[in-house]
Amino acid sequence: MKHLWTPWRMPYLKAPKETTMTGCIFCDKFRANGEQDRDNLVLWRGQRAGIVMNLYPYTNGHLMVAPYAHTGELETLDAVTLQEMMLLVAQSIRALRAYANPHGFNVGANLGKCAGAGVEDHVHLHIVPRWNGDTNFMPVLAETRMIPEMLPDTYDKIFSVLQADAEKAG
């Protein structure tokens, strides 16, 4: 028998299944001091929305764009916030292409619990890089996703790409 070591999954497995946050996960991350962004996996702070890494990603580089406004209803966000969110999705895709050269992306939102929202009271958009052949039996049979890089390493690489793009843009 072969063993697949996934030590980064242990905190998730041991964590209570109820939220350990005192409030909304996105609000908590965005309210925190910017010096804690790496620990909170906040990659980018815009005027009305930001980019964060998913703590339990589907694939390496799974990012989320969320507004600072706390709402579970996309249609309640103003046009300026919606526009910035889509610009951050595009910025995320450019950074992920430079970081990992995926073959494609899943981009979307799960609005409401029945639609699969893990955090249903704060709208967020998922940007999931995909590669040909990146699916396997592990999630189905073992309820385990295989992520080939530790989150802090992924954070540093994507953060560097985002910073370089910002410097080019002036």
Catalytic residues: 124
Give the start-end residues of each E strand in 109-150: 125-130
> How big is the chain, counted in residues?
170
Task: Give dist(CA 96, CA 24) in Å, integer.
Answer: 26
Residues paired with 51 in a beta bridge: 44, 65
Which residue carries 């990012």 as its tokens? 63
For residue 75, give the DSSP letter: G
Task: Give dist(CA 59, CA 93) in Å, integer.
Answer: 14
Type and span of the H or E element at 46: none
